[in-house]
Structure 1
């Protein structure tokens, strides 16, 4: 195992061997040229070692990144979570591990591992603290997305690691921004903190697997690309074989749970598709699905939801379970709740009833106002005013001989004034006969 070059800052005190030749890229036309690029490799390793250093800046950035990621996960904001990825400094020590494995530099590997461990601890503790302080700790879709890693996540991390090494070699900071976004590192750590703080061991384990997947894939991709670019030229073929075998064995073991998770997701998606298809055939043309949840419960499929129907189907659950079980060749448990939805006729009747009630309420208010207007000054006793609100008719029972000329004229003016205010009503003198007065609607004032 080689030591550190004395001219490469931060790689240790032992001498570092960086000889040999490799293809270098010209900045103008990317044409490959051969030359002695040992100084270039030394500078790149120095930059990687500097980014893998544990210092106050790293601790501040990982604290801020973990806080942003946790808050974004709790409020289910993808934009905030992306912001946390950009602030995260974890790519530095991961690249340090990758280049350290490529050159077998033990000091660089140790430094990167210490920095990585410190960053993980800080991020998880910050997440736990914020979850404890938060009044709301609901499981959001952003949190759940970090708990089911698959082989697809491994592929993203490998490609991201390759892009990251290329960006380091070509000093392309913009590419590193994209790598930071694509390879989620801090959000899984925040999800681990959430799982530990809320007692959700499944969330913590799933997020830990995602973080381990991304970390190892990026580091191993960096190792492979670094070796292809002649880093560690003094290593023997036995060293190279050991690196290749170690990388593929580790990734192979890691792929087992990821493949199982991807298979579960694919089975669940197939089950959901089958349930939606069969349920659509069983429901009527005007029926609709309000909510539907399909999940795998061991080897069984569990289905629950709510549908809005015109007519209740007594055997809907049994029929759906039978048809889906025939397609998937597994036991299916169905619990669908049927709710009667309003038909167009029912909705129209309800609307008409509402208008009628509103009209009656309006007539009731008008009748009270008319009664008050007619009996102002107590020239007309209240018991002499009969009101039929439904017919909008008012009968004023009068005795001209008892009223006298002046009182009769005053009552006429009052009636004319009230009639002008309520032209849709009929206000007249007279008396109601039994045939004229609907008993259920006529009301005598006190």
Structure 2
């Protein structure tokens, strides 16, 4: 981390010597911070940007904690990883290096940051490879869709972090580390690499890049305001600011697209629910409803509990929702008739049936993920009989390389152990 809680008491006292006045930024009308205090602050930033054994140990531990937390979907464990992570140090080094135009500090910080990223991803990949749990959890999915909101959090966090460095406020840096996730996105990148999920790799990498650049650039601006670095001409200052804004502007494009997609899905769900409510009778009830935006189409699936069947319900909902959303809406609704003489019993049966179907789908998806991990076995090579819980794995052992065959055997054996209720067979279609 970029906090300097480990600085000696004399250094801390020196850092505060010229900064014990009200306000967050230094009063620019007076020379409130001496050259010596600025030099000590920069020395602390350079020290936290150093690539040493302590940094490597902390980043490895943070990556391990973050990976385990993501796999368990434990928010508390993920937060613990953010507190252990030392990545704020080199990121602040980049920001202050840009402000002071010190290429040595920038180079050192970038090398440390790159090494930290590499170690974090490798450690996470090793843990995921040996872990029996490789399912997509809400904590993992939350790191794959960064938006402009994340950019805003990172910018504000970077400002707070730079102030914490300048004013030696270690407590503030703890909050910044929690707010601006750095290691969990790297662990999510590792998960995407191991499981072959390219969308997880790109989404998490974009989140990490967003947080890193926003924090560094915010630190640069705060450092320049506080008179760190040489006195640049107004033209040079304007060019430096324009460069920062240009990079953040380019970065904002995919984030804005992601935010727009999420907003469109929320809007589509609200409109579909509103239109469906207007078409149902007072006693009808929506038991289950899924709305998914896929490109220029919206898919709607659901189960409706009704007193009387309405054959055209799906068509009416598709037509009205298409008009309001101005895009094609595909509707697949299952209407289940309510029995008035045994309504509660029927509802219980329906709930159990829906739950059983959802659990079956989840089990099938988990089984497929286990078999296709790493991409050695393609989904097109799997024939599944869901009712009988049987899977036929199409293989031609004579055509397989020895190492590939052994790796496939291991995957199949591990899957058999994890899912004893399923029958996994290997062979070709023309074999008995």
- Into which bin does the TM-score normalised by the smaller protein fall? 0.7 to 0.9
Q: Which moves more between the two structures, 340-349 or 283-292?
A: 340-349
After TM superposition, the structure 1 = structure 2 runs for residues 213-292 of structure 1, keeping only pairs within 5 Å, are 213-292=210-289
Corresponding residue to 2:20 among 3, 26, 34: 26
Residue 67 of structure 1: how far off its partner (Å)? 1.1
CA distance in structure 2 between the aligned counterparts of 1:288 and 1:344, rounded to whole angstroms: 17
Judging changes above 3 Å, is the alpha-carbon distance between structure 1 residues 216 and 295 closer, same or farther for their aligned structure 2 residues?
same
Q: Which runs of 5+ in 1 are unaligned?
A: 1-22, 352-446
Residue 157 of structure 2 corresponds to residue 160 of structure 1: yes
Residue 310 of structure 1: how far off its partner (Å)? 3.2
Q: Is the 8 A contact 2:19 2:32 kept in 1?
A: no
In structure 1, the partner of 2:186 is 189
Corresponding residue to 1:44 among 22, 41, 44: 41
In structure 2, the partner of 1:170 is 167
CA distance in structure 1 between the aligned counterparts of 2:293 and 2:165, rounded to whole angstroms: 44
Corresponding residue to 2:129 among 106, 117, 132: 132
Judging changes above 3 Å, is the alpha-carbon distance between structure 1 residues 348 and 304 closer, same or farther for their aligned structure 2 residues?
closer
Residue 197 of structure 1: how far off its partner (Å)? 0.7
In structure 2, the partner of 1:106 is 103
SS in 2 for 1:34: coil
After TM superposition, the structure 1 = structure 2 runs for residues 358-369 of structure 1, keeping only pairs within 5 Å, are none
CA distance in structure 1 between the aligned counterparts of 2:296 and 2:143, rounded to whole angstroms: 24
Residue 29 of structure 1: how far off its partner (Å)? 8.0
Residue 127 of structure 1: how far off its partner (Å)? 1.6
Q: Which runs of 5+ in 2 are unaligned?
A: 1-16, 349-432
CA distance in structure 1 between the aligned counterparts of 2:20 and 2:232, rounded to whole angstroms: 27
Residue 246 of structure 1: how far off its partner (Å)? 1.2
Q: How many matched pairs?
A: 330
Corresponding residue to 1:97 among 94, 113, 119: 94
**After superposition, what is the alpha-carbon deviation per residue over 1:161-183, rounded to whole angstroms, capped at 9, x for unaligned?**
00001111111111111101111
Q: Which moves more between the two structures, 146-155 or 127-136?
A: 127-136
Residue 347 of structure 1: how far off its partner (Å)? 4.7
Judging changes above 3 Å, is the alpha-carbon distance between structure 1 residues 197 and 340 closer, same or farther for their aligned structure 2 residues?
farther
What TM-score, normalized to structure 1?
Answer: 0.70
Judging changes above 3 Å, is the alpha-carbon distance between structure 1 residues 58 and 278 closer, same or farther for their aligned structure 2 residues?
same
**After superposition, what is the alpha-carbon deviation per residue over 1:239-285, rounded to whole angstroms, capped at 9, x for unaligned?**
32331121011011111111111111111111010011112222233
CA distance in structure 2 between the aligned counterparts of 1:349 and 1:53, rounded to whole angstroms: 67
Corresponding residue to 2:334 among 334, 337, 343: 337
**After superposition, what is the alpha-carbon deviation per residue over 1:384-434, rounded to whole angstroms, capped at 9, x for unaligned?**
xxxxxxxxxxxxxxxxxxxxxxxxxxxxxxxxxxxxxxxxxxxxxxxxxxx
In structure 2, the partner of 1:20 is none
Judging changes above 3 Å, is the alpha-carbon distance between structure 1 residues 314 and 56 closer, same or farther for their aligned structure 2 residues?
same
CA distance in structure 2 between the aligned counterparts of 1:313 and 1:240, rounded to whole angstroms: 68
**After superposition, what is the alpha-carbon deviation per residue over 1:273-331, rounded to whole angstroms, capped at 9, x for unaligned?**
00111122222333322322212111111112223333332222111111111111111
CA distance in structure 2 between the aligned counterparts of 1:45 and 1:267, rounded to whole angstroms: 46
Q: CA RMSD in A?
A: 2.4
Q: Is the 8 A contact 2:188 2:201 kept in 1?
A: yes
Residue 313 of structure 2 corresponds to residue 319 of structure 1: no
SS in 1 for 2:158: helix
**After superposition, what is the alpha-carbon deviation per residue over 1:66-121, rounded to whole angstroms, capped at 9, x for unaligned?**
11111111111111111111111110000000000000101100111011101111
After TM superposition, the structure 1 = structure 2 runs for residues 378-397 of structure 1, keeping only pairs within 5 Å, are none
In structure 2, the partner of 1:88 is 85
In structure 1, the partner of 2:59 is 62
CA distance in structure 2 between the aligned counterparts of 1:86 and 1:230, rounded to whole angstroms: 30
Residue 138 of structure 2 corresponds to residue 141 of structure 1: yes
Residue 35 of structure 1: how far off its partner (Å)? 4.1
Residue 350 of structure 1: how far off its partner (Å)? 12
SS in 1 for 2:31: strand
Query: Whose helix fraction is larger, Structure 1's or Structure 2's?
Result: 2
Judging changes above 3 Å, is the alpha-carbon distance between structure 1 residues 175 and 345 closer, same or farther for their aligned structure 2 residues?
same
In structure 1, the partner of 2:415 is none
Q: Which moves more between the two structures, 118-127 or 301-310?
A: 301-310
CA distance in structure 2 between the aligned counterparts of 1:218 and 1:348, rounded to whole angstroms: 57
CA distance in structure 2 between the aligned counterparts of 1:272 and 1:349, rounded to whole angstroms: 28
SS in 1 for 2:64: helix
Which structure would you say has the larger Rg? 1
